[in-house]
Structure 1
Amino acid sequence: MRSNCALYIDVGYLLASAAVRVTGTSLRAGIQVEFPKLIDDLVRQAEELSGLPVLRVHWYDAAKNAVPDWGQGLIGELPKVKLRLGRIGLDGQQKGVDLRIGLDLVTHARNHVADIFYVVSGDDDLTEAVEEAQVQGVQVVILAVPNASGVPHAVSRHLLRAADQLEVVDETAIDRNVSRKAVTPRPVDKPGPKSAVPSPAEIAARVQQVAPPPTSVLAYSSSTGSKSVPSSAYIEVEGASDQIDAVAKKVADSVRRSATDSDLRDIIAGRPAIPSDVDRALLLDLSDTLEVYDLEDPLRFKLRERFWAYLADG
């Protein structure tokens, strides 16, 4: 039987890490991606590394009710690409994506569908699935996205120890296929009826008093890996003020740059709640900056407060 390799791509990890490289923040909405070309480059790299043809690309993402949106549907129609969708929960978090990746790794290894599995992810939760696939005689290689310095971004130490090898995605594959989203044109205010887009002064008035959201989630979601620093590590807000400001400003700038007028109005109208994707980017970026897995509540509250302040200043 002909030997093959296979690609397993955690889209949440791929795009968040690529966004960090391109924009400095993990906010997916801040980037635009040439998906067919990016997938072709990943396939090409896997074949060059292994010396084997790629049997199939497994593309793991999430969608409302696990129903693909227009863009996901187009990706699923690409040659040799299998679309595998989890759900987006009421809290905006992905559900079932990691489970699908893990089950596929184990099932495909048992059925000997390929000799080498390339996994584009840094997720700690995949460690046991990787080890079980190896028991079945498959080599598992982690293909990590590089940050701006070329260093693998957000790969769990447990996953790294379990895998047979760590490779880094070719930097040119990211740089030529992932770009900062163009600035959204905004209408110039004219005499007459008041513009529907809030001015910086109006935004500042609305965010003057910020109450932190009642929910609390881990700073690092399972789709982005985990840091080696214990979750019990405690960092004072005062000692991290510069890092908090830097993260809040980058995310606020990315939101203002990429959001449509309607999106910006909705974000402001929903204060103090922050959209789940934006809040996730804030937490992930600060967690990455501080190298702490679980951010304490004072850090979270201050981070969200500074985000609103910088959004107003924009």
Structure 2
Amino acid sequence: MTRCVIMVDAGYLYAAGGQLCCGTRSRADVELAPQTVLTRLQARVRLELDVPVLRAYWYDAARDGIRTAEQRTIAAMDDVKLRLGRLNGQNQQKGVDALIYRDMITLAQHGAVSDVVLISGDEDLHEGVRSVQDYGVRVTLVGIEAVSGHNQSEELVYEADRLWTFGKAELAAAFTRRTPNTPELSPEEVAVIAHAARAAAVAFATSWKAEAGETELQELMADRPRIPRPIDVELITAVEQDIGRTLHDQKDLKKELRAAWWGVMGGGAVLLAARSTLTVSAETESQ
């Protein structure tokens, strides 16, 4: 069967593409047009591999399995399958590599494809690439031009049959940097966004608490209502990613999110008494 599947590791795409096109690896600061990326990949497949594309697989992660608005849009696209791993309490993707590996092996074993076009940089995938090659599948690895150094595993690069690299000229149309200056919203829109943000903060805090060790929780509670800087950054970033908006200038809302955090952690009366002056370690409100 001569046909191809495209597999996109969204975490790599956001980080490497955001750095190249927008000067940031922060997903919360970048808007991505997935259809533009897929169209570029499909055109390259037709030109260089000369095989039809069966479908595209889009691999990402979600907290508690709940799709973001962007992920729902991707899931509804024609000939695109959304595969979701999970986000842990530290906002790290888990299980995404396993999903990619599983799909590559299954398609190869059933003789469903002759080619896999994989956009990723993760070394953990090189064994999967080797395995599908044993079934006669050709693997083309797609990389994004690195601003400096390398952004793909050497082992993964060496294992692939072909290597394509996309530069800024090819990807610039797909990436837009979010700016703090957003159109003025109605009170109703502000309320909806605030509600979604608080829900996202509760989800993040719940996940973090479930994975934290007893010592970590004790140290956290001993310093309340201050939130350690690294955790605070993860909290705000997770909420921004979930609601698809930057909170750069939303000082009051960020205080509410920290209050929601302590509501999950058990801040109780200590938090309520200090709510108006909630701070984080070495906090800078420029974030």
Query: Shorter-chain TM-score category?
Result: 0.5 to 0.7
Kept in 1: contact 2:59–2:96 (CA 8 A): yes
Q: Secondary structure at the match of 1:176?
A: helix
- Report what 2:249 is aligned to: 261
Q: 1:54 to 1:263 in 2, by over 3 A?
A: farther
CA distance in 2, matches of 1:105, 1:63: 21
- Report what 1:72 is aligned to: 71
What pairs with 1:37-48 in structure 2 (closer than 5 Å)?
Answer: 37-48=36-47
Q: 1:113 to 1:172 in 2, by over 3 A?
A: farther
- Report what 2:221 is aligned to: none
What pairs with 1:118-133 in structure 2 (closer than 5 Å)?
Answer: 118-133=117-132
Query: What amino acid does structure 1 have at the position aligned with 2:170?
Result: A
- Report what 2:14 is aligned to: 15
Higher helix proportion: 2
- Report what 2:164 is aligned to: 167
Q: Secondary structure at the match of 1:52?
A: coil
Offset at residue 270 of structure 1 (A): 4.7
Q: 1:263 to 1:140 in 2, by over 3 A?
A: farther
**Per-residue deviation, residues 209-254 of structure 1 (Å, max 9, x unmatched):** 996659xxxxxxxxxxxxxxxxxxxxxxxxxxxxxxxxxxxxxxxx
**Per-residue deviation, residues 151-198 of structure 1 (Å, max 9, x unmatched):** 8x51001111111121112543311111221333599xxxxxxxxxxx
Q: 1:259 to 1:312 in 2, by over 3 A?
A: closer
TM-score (norm 2): 0.65
Matched, 1:154 2:151: yes
Give me the identity figure in percent: 29
Gaps of 5+ in 2: 185-225, 232-244, 262-280
Q: Out of 29-38 and 6-15, give the one that drifted further.
A: 29-38
TM-score (norm 1): 0.60
Q: 1:263 to 1:146 in 2, by over 3 A?
A: farther
**Per-residue deviation, residues 73-122 of structure 1 (Å, max 9, x unmatched):** 11111111011111122332212111101111111111121111111000
- Report what 2:108 is aligned to: 109
CA distance in 1, matches of 2:127, 2:256: 42
CA distance in 2, matches of 1:55, 1:176: 25
Q: 1:70 to 1:25 in 2, by over 3 A?
A: closer
